[in-house]
Amino acid sequence: MAERGIEVDHATLNRWVIKFSPLIAKEAHKRKQKTAVSWRMDETYIKVKAKWTYYYRAIDKFGKTLDFMLSEGIAMCGRSLFSKVFLTL
């Protein structure tokens, strides 16, 4: 906003977020595409900021990434975490 010459207090921005974020979330939820019933979990080991990290992602049968998670250690509950999320859809 400062680029356009308008001064806005941080408290005002916070009020806007509180007021408009539910509306944006509701609209985004309407436009969200349904996921396939079948999905798989992929696990790999990648380097992020010079640190080795486990990368988990849930992929539907069309190859679309549904969700992902980065973990410093092996996440034994990674599969169950994704299961809880996608079983509620």
pLDDT digits (tens, 9 = 90+) for 1-43: 778 888 889 899 899 999 999 999 999 888 877 767 787 888 8
Structural domain count, the chain: 2
Confidence tier at 84 by pLDDT (50, 70, 90): low
26: containing domain: 2-31
Percent of the chain with pLDDT over 70: 80
Rounded CA-CA distance 43/51 in Å is 16
* Residue type present at position 8: V
Question: Domain check: are 83 and 46 in the same one?
Answer: yes
Question: Domain check: are 54 and 76 in the same one?
Answer: yes
Rounded CA-CA distance 73/76 in Å is 9
Instruction: Please provide the size of the chain in residues.
Output: 89
Question: Domain check: are 60 and 43 in the same one?
Answer: yes
pTM of the model as a whole: 0.48
